[in-house]
Structure 1
Amino acid sequence: MAAEKTVLLYPCPALGHLNPMVQLAKALVRRGIAVTIAVADQPDKSPVVAGAIARVAAACPSVGVRLLPIPSSEDKKYSHPVMRILDALRLAKPALRELLRSLPAVDALVVDMFCIDELDVAAELAIPAYIFYPSAAGDLAVYLQVPYVSRSAPFAFKDMGHTALNFTGVPPVRALDMPDTMGDRESDVGRTRFHQCSQMPEARGVLVNSFEWFETRALKALRGGLCLPAGRSMPQIYCIGPLVDGGNTGENDERHECLEWLDGQPKQSVVFLCFGSKGSFPAAQLTEMAHGLENSGHRFLWAVRNPPPPDHRSNFTEVNLEALLPDGFLERTRGRGLVLKNWAPQSAALRHDAVGAFVTHCGWNSSLEAVMSGVPMICWPLYAEQRLNKVHLVEELKVGVVVEGYDEELVMADELEAKVRLVMESQKGEKLRERLAMAKEMAADAMKDSGSSDVAFAEFLNNLGTNTRQ
């Protein structure tokens, strides 16, 4: 009998990266792979990230979790918030090297898209290294081309506004829709991210959290070597998604009260607003949102956080809805609307038959959950790669519409009302629903035995025992 294969997973210590890596761990364990997750353990990490790390082991008891201690960087000044995370990964690199040396045998190291610099540790120890890309294949196609497209751009992306950037395999992308980490290639964070993008092809393979039917054009460009300059070869692409949360409803899997509320609503009648682990809005924007929802006349379920604090620290403090929302709003919408403080069981809510539209920040995990639930998206990107995801979701994949003004100071009430009505009432909204029904079916097919993602997973595992790049 063949010995059990062992894989070490190395996620970026941020919620949107930890969660999909846990889903990858579960998928590997189901296929008979021994899995250890190593996490850079920042002493000054946020309570949200600390809670996520604590839940990693509980989510899959058969997965080993190793925390890599690093010095505190709380007093260190960073030019961009992402640099704090990248610095933590840099400081954890010696501990990762020692962990890999201490384990009896490791068949592969799988690193997050932000952990590209760790590929050289794997090369030093002669361990096959792969990248887990937790976002869209379209994003990956763009990121691989960014170092080269930026060289021919007349200005830094941050200064090019609505100018369209052309990347192979995806629709044109306005410069202002590029991640802010890539806005200026001469900045600290820009130099780091552009270098990481240029190093991605050095991996033996890339596991992408998407599925073949959904992103055909981007995957064709990637596999055809069209996202790299002549002379550089593309590693194997394994499209293994959608890997998403299974829909737990809360602590101890107790059913959240909002699901009971949804039980009493007609099918596809509720607009669900939820903006990820960091999504929050200034008070003025919350007011516009409230007026837009009220004026739309539609039922809604809305997770509201406090406005972002000036120091960008956690805003998971007690939420005073009466103070944040317009006078009388909660009373006037009582019965047809439910507002939650801070958190909603997003996956479970999306799967509920009562939900007919999803106002989302376009995080890829959230987008995949919507697709697997067959729910059209009203796209309101906030940060990171979310604007880029919006381009794919709206213009390429045709599974959502966008609120105009997300890139300005305020999205006005009448704009949100108009997009809610479009999705919930119009013929275009019905076409979106039909498109999502097809996408939901194809996503499920991809994950079935012998589906495209199942086959890709099997190819990846078969290649773990070989010593040459495919």
Structure 2
Amino acid sequence: MEKTVVLYPGLAVSHCVPMMQLAAPLLEHGYAVSVALIDPAVKDDIAFGAVVSRVAASMPSVRFHTLPTVEDVPDLTQDTQFPAGYLELIRRYNERLHDFLCSMRPRSVHAVVVDSLSSEALGVVKRLGIPGYNLFTSSASVLAAFAQLPTLLAEGGTSFKELGDTPLQLFGLPPMPASHLMAELLEDPESDKYKAMMASLPRILEADGTLVNTLESLEARGVAALRDPRCVLGRVLPPVYCVGPFVGSIAVAEAKERHECLPWLDGQPDRSVVFLCFGSIGIGNHSEEQLREIAVGLDKSGHRFLWVVRAPVSDDPEKPLDPCADPDIDALLPDGFMERTNGRGLVVKLWAPQADVLRHKATGAFVTHCGWNSVLEGVTAGVPMLCWPLYAEQKMNKLFMVGDMGIAVEMVGWQHGLVKAGEVEAKVRLVMDSEEGRELRARVAANKEDAMAAWNDGGSSRVAFAHFLADVASQQDRACTREGMGLSDA
């Protein structure tokens, strides 16, 4: 009988790409891989659809199945609908996923791996008696925090929002200001956003195990917390498999012309360029004032830079700007900035090939929004980082990057709503010129070596993946035994 693993990715590029990269080692170990997809058109995300198309082209042995559409799909185009609308969408597709798994003869499906945003689907998988696993696309430290949050306020009536900057005492993690939690957790406890988020967190722990896109050596403290019975008292957490880093984009079959920034980087000295890039989806774009402060700081720093600029946010809620609109660089940046920095700086509109830029020998520092995929790309490239979190779990990532990991310094002005030019100048010089910056670079270099070795023979991630496959096989053997005894749960 063919051994099959079904992947069920989330509707976000940052979640889908690591899930698709999981397909390669599964194929290598003799598993057939099927991908169950919610129609990308549901989210109206061109980038997500493009990723799916690239995967299909570059991995012809992976089978894709788009689940039949459901009626009355929640509107996911508005930020106000997350996460409640997204979780409702997953619930509505549960029956479609159930029918798809049944059509595959459930016992031929050895495991289903669902995106952590789609953990609602684990109930379907369990009812069919199929081992179900999560792929957690953020850090193990964030997972350890998520595991503990549902019970943290159980005895008191205080909300996370009311706690403000009061540090949360989480087992195995450094003290975390409550204000660093995801925005949905800082809503009114009676709001749909808060209720949906708090209801979703315990479901992550209902899996048979969790694959985490991380390196165990990078997050030794967070991983140890997840494996300690004291993490969530009275509950044994499922196994954690650190199988990262899954970084970069999915391979494209045909070669494409190099982005304009790469030939420019070719002409710069080694490790001389500061790269500023704040994500590709437009959430949390900077204001016009903030863009000018960045420009002045870069100008005064005297260092070379490559800066990806997106259209600014609008102060007028009745006239919102398209975050993916083409920015008017001349109007947004200070007079004379482009002329003064000509030759040592390059401003790119909207997008740059981040992974390629970070791997380039000219790149010496990375100013990042602390999205986990970006963090891993910085680690695997051996580039020290300056943290500027904007949304989602990025404030939590920042805390671990600066503290436990020691791979970054923080632009603290974000906490006050504006990083001023003086801080931009000072932090760039700290990382590029100072002894502290050299120590930071050395720590990142050590992590890069660990990342490069992780998937080699005997490497930590390859060993963890082998443990995952052994557990899948063991679960399948037990299921077959139960079926033979007439005890199947399917």
Q: Which has the larger radius of gyration?
A: 2
2:151 to 136, 148, 151: 148
Q: Is the 8 A contact 1:362 1:381 kept in 2?
A: yes
Match runs of 1:278-289 below 5 Å: 278-279=281-282, 280-289=285-294
Q: Is the 8 A contact 1:43 1:70 kept in 2?
A: no
The worse-fitting range, judged by mean Cα deviation, of 237-246 and 64-73 is: 64-73
Q: Is the 8 A contact 2:168 2:177 kept in 1?
A: yes
The worse-fitting range, judged by mean Cα deviation, of 248-257 and 353-362 is: 248-257
- Report how far residue 83 of structure 1 moved: 2.5
Determine the C-alpha separation between the residues in 2 that align with 1:115 and 1:313: 30
Q: Does 1:376 align with 2:374?
A: no
Q: What's 1:158 paired with? A: 161
Q: What's 2:204 paired with? A: 200
**SS of residue matched to 1:465:** helix
- What 5-or-longer segments of structure 1 have no aligned partner? none
Q: Is the 8 A contact 2:75 2:85 kept in 1?
A: no
**SS of residue matched to 1:29:** helix
Match runs of 1:145-224 below 5 Å: 145-152=148-155, 155-184=158-187, 185-224=189-228
Q: CA deviation digits over 1:49-69, x for unaligned, max 9?
A: 333333332342222222222
- Report how far residue 152 of structure 1 moved: 4.3
Q: What's 1:261 paired with? A: 264
Q: Does 1:53 align with 2:52?
A: yes
Letter matched to residue 321 of structure 1: I
Q: Does 1:292 align with 2:297?
A: yes
**SS of residue matched to 2:19:** helix
- Report how far residue 150 of structure 1 moved: 2.6
**SS of residue matched to 1:466:** helix
Q: What's 1:325 paired with? A: 333
Q: Is the 8 A contact 2:165 2:178 kept in 1?
A: yes
- Report how far residue 106 of structure 1 moved: 1.1
Q: Is the 8 A contact 1:249 1:348 kept in 2?
A: no
- Report how far residue 153 of structure 1 moved: 5.4
**SS of residue matched to 1:242:** coil
Determine the C-alpha separation between the residues in 1 that align with 2:78 and 2:420: 35
Q: Is the 8 A contact 2:43 2:77 kept in 1?
A: no
Q: Does 1:389 align with 2:403?
A: no
Q: What's 1:129 paired with? A: 132
Q: What's 2:87 paired with? A: 86
Identity percentage over the alignment? 45
Determine the C-alpha separation between the residues in 1 that align with 2:307 and 2:301: 14
- Report how far residue 34 of structure 1 moved: 1.3
- Report how far residue 78 of structure 1 moved: 7.7
Determine the C-alpha separation between the residues in 1 that align with 2:403 and 2:396: 11
Letter matched to residue 38 of structure 1: A
The worse-fitting range, judged by mean Cα deviation, of 86-95 and 267-276 is: 86-95
Determine the C-alpha separation between the residues in 1 that align with 2:248 and 2:299: 31
**SS of residue matched to 1:203:** coil
Q: What's 1:271 paired with? A: 274
- Report how far residue 439 of structure 1 moved: 0.4
Determine the C-alpha separation between the residues in 2 that align with 1:298 and 1:411: 18
Q: Is the 8 A contact 1:250 1:256 kept in 2?
A: no
Report the RMSD for the aligned CA atoms in angstroms.
2.2
2:310 to 298, 305, 314: 305
**SS of residue matched to 2:65:** strand
Q: Is the 8 A contact 1:248 1:345 kept in 2?
A: no
**SS of residue matched to 2:323:** coil
The worse-fitting range, judged by mean Cα deviation, of 286-295 and 308-317 is: 308-317
Q: What's 2:483 paired with? A: none
Determine the C-alpha separation between the residues in 2 that align with 1:96 and 1:22: 18
Letter matched to residue 222 of structure 1: L
Determine the C-alpha separation between the residues in 2 that align with 1:86 and 1:313: 27
Determine the C-alpha separation between the residues in 2 that align with 1:428 and 1:464: 45
Letter matched to residue 262 of structure 1: L
Q: CA deviation digits over 1:116-171, x for unaligned, max 9?
A: 11111011111100011111000000000000113245522122221101111211
The worse-fitting range, judged by mean Cα deviation, of 334-343 and 143-152 is: 143-152
Number of equivalenced pairs: 466
**SS of residue matched to 1:151:** coil
1:37 to 16, 28, 35: 35
The alignment's TM-score, normalised by the length of structure 2, stands at 0.90
Q: Is the 8 A contact 1:298 1:336 kept in 2?
A: yes
Determine the C-alpha separation between the residues in 2 that align with 1:201 and 1:421: 43
**SS of residue matched to 1:65:** strand
The worse-fitting range, judged by mean Cα deviation, of 245-254 and 296-305 is: 245-254
**SS of residue matched to 1:143:** helix
Distance change in 2, residues 1:132/1:247 (3 Å): closer
Determine the C-alpha separation between the residues in 2 that align with 1:28 and 1:138: 26
The worse-fitting range, judged by mean Cα deviation, of 242-251 and 295-304 is: 242-251
- Report how far residue 32 of structure 1 moved: 2.6
Q: Is the 8 A contact 1:250 1:345 kept in 2?
A: no
Distance change in 2, residues 1:22/1:201 (3 Å): same
Q: Is the 8 A contact 2:406 2:440 kept in 1?
A: yes
- What 5-or-longer segments of structure 2 have no aligned partner? 480-490
Match runs of 1:412-423 below 5 Å: 412-423=420-431
